[in-house]
Homo-oligomer: A and B are copies of this chain.
Amino acid sequence: MQLLLIHSDFIEFEAKRPTKLAEEVEDSAKKGRLDEALCAFIAVEKFDEDDTDAVIAEGAKQVADVAGQVKAHRIMIYPYAHLSSSLSTPATAVKILKGMADVLSQNYEVMRAPFGWYKAFTISCKGHPLSELSRSIRLGEGEVVSEALKSEAKAV
């Protein structure tokens, strides 16, 4: 799993058109907006297919960890295939994204953008040092590569 976490003034989206892989969703789930939110752009990867429950738990933990650091109470789960060149099946992706939203809903206001739709979106990134972080989760390798602490040394 590849995560790009952006602390935003707001994030809003509108599903415009389904791709062949589109998740079926109610009309009410095709648009959404959160203010003062952490937006988690997520690519679920082939590697994540082996143990989806563990990936859901670790993914939710990583997102919650950053939400805590930036003091965000709202989380947007946003599928983002362009973060990886080794994607999972769509079914696995939807399962993991829904699972993460369920876990995080226990402690945060959570919204999830639908999978497999062409979406318009607007995001406003705050620009403080923790407002853009990336993390890679590779459970099979027994590690979580956090880009949080080294982000200042990166070319943000």
Residue from the list B81, B120, B153 in contact with A127, Cβ < 8 A? B120
Contact with B along A115-156 (1 / 0, CB 8 A): 111111111111111011110100000000101000011111
Contact indicator B121/A82 (Cβ below 8 Å): no
Decide yes or no whether A59 CB sits under 8 A from chain B.
no
Contact indicator B82/A16 (Cβ below 8 Å): no
Decide yes or no whether A32 CB sits under 8 A from chain B.
no
Chain A interface size, as a band, is 35 or more
Contact indicator B120/A124 (Cβ below 8 Å): yes
How many copies the complex holds: the figure is 2
- Which residue of chain B is the closest to A21 with respect to CB atoms? B155
Give the contacts of A1-47 with B (CB-CB under 8 A): 4, 9, 14, 16-17, 19-21, 43-44
Query: Which residues of chain B have C-beta atoms less than 8 A from A147's C-beta?
Result: 82, 85
Decide yes or no whether A93 CB sits under 8 A from chain B.
yes
Query: Which residues of chain B have C-beta atoms less than 8 A from A90's C-beta?
Result: 155
Contact indicator B17/A129 (Cβ below 8 Å): yes
Residues of A within 8 A of B (CB): 4, 9, 14, 16-17, 19-21, 43-44, 79, 81-83, 85, 87, 90, 93, 115-129, 131-134, 136, 145, 147, 152-156
